[in-house]
Amino acid sequence: MATRHNCIFLGRAFLGLSLVASTAFSTTAFAQDQDVLEDIITPDLERREIKESDLDTEDFEIGIYAGIINIEDFGSNDVVGIRLAYHVSEDIFLETSFAETTLGETSFERLSGDIQLLSDDQRDVTYYNLSVGYNFLPGEVFLGSKIALNTNFYIIAGIGTTEFADEEQFTYNFGAGINIFPTDWLSIRLDFRDHVFEHDLFGETVTTNNLEANLGFNIYF
């Protein structure tokens, strides 16, 4: 329970930190402050320069996703998550995500009758990660003859932890996906990810590959 709370708190803290950072240098806030001063002090003076701070930037992205994750030995299960990304350039982005799922039964548990390897609480799995992504193959998809939507592929890799059977496991993730943009501030994203971690739940330490596929909506702001 304590680890669960901590893990959630940490995941929340990461998201919170990133959000604070994103708001702290909000260009609109600066621009408004300047406007107020200009109105009071120098009403007749025109702007001498147009800079990036005069425009709203949309380098951050927040999203929600849902899909299926296969935890090795525990079947395929629903997963829901949230993500926050910062686009450093048109190519590279940094991303943090947090998701939760519930483990199914192992085939041993199903065959043996009422033997349970894990308690209900231990079946709740959460993960969070910090990843770097690379956008490539920008392009368009066409809906009929009138509508063209922008798309891009990306590859992504990162580190994080998975809380599995009440224990934190250091986790690598690798993946790829595709973004489709109905408008330029909204993307529909299909993501495939492999979460690799070790655990010793069955006695000896094994490395597990846990595949996830999800569909998400992301907003740029």
Partner 1 sequence: MYLIQLVLSRHAQNHEQNSWLCVQGNARTETRTANSRTLKHSPVLSALLAFALILFTNAAVAKDPTLVVVDTGYIDVHTGPGRGYPVFHALEKGETIELLKQRTDWVKVKTKRGKKGWVHVRDINKTIGANGEQVTFSTPGFEQFKNRRFELGFSAGTFEGSDSIDAYVGWRWTKNISVEAHATQIVGDFSDSQMFTANIVLTPFPDWRITPFVTLGTGTIDISPDTTLVSTEDRTNDVLQSGIGFYGYVGRRFVARFQYNNNKLITDRNENEEIDEWRLGITAFF
Q: Which of residues 191-210 bind partner 1 (CB under 8 A)?
A: none
Hey, which residues between 157 and 186 contact partner 1 (CB under 8 A)?
159-161, 166-170, 181, 184-185
Site membership for partner 1, residue 33 (CB under 8 A):
no
206: nearest Cα among 175, 173, 177, 164: 164
Q: Which of residues 71-130 bind partner 1 (CB under 8 A)?
A: 80-82, 86-90, 92, 94, 96, 98, 100, 121, 124, 130
Among residues 33, 34, 36, 58, which is the contact residue for partner 1, using CB under 8 A?
58
Total residues at the site for partner 1 (CB under 8 A)? 84
- Rounded to whole angstroms, the Cα distance separating 189 from 175 reads 13
**Local structure of residue 205 (DSSP, 8 states):** -
Please give the structure tokens belonging to residue 181. 């943009």
16 scored as a contact of partner 1 (CB under 8 A):
yes
Options 37-45, 107-115, 137-145, 207-215: segment touching partner 1 (CB under 8 A) = 137-145
79 sits in the region (left: phi over 0; alpha: psi -120 to 50; else beta) called beta
How do 60-70 and 76-87 pair as beta strands?
Answer: antiparallel
Query: Which C-beta is closer to partner 1: that of 63 or that of 175?
Result: 63
Rounded to the nearest whole angstrom, what is the least distance from the CB of residue 112 to partner 1 in the complex? 21
The Cα 91–Cα 78 span in angstroms is 31
Residue 194 in tokens: 């492999």
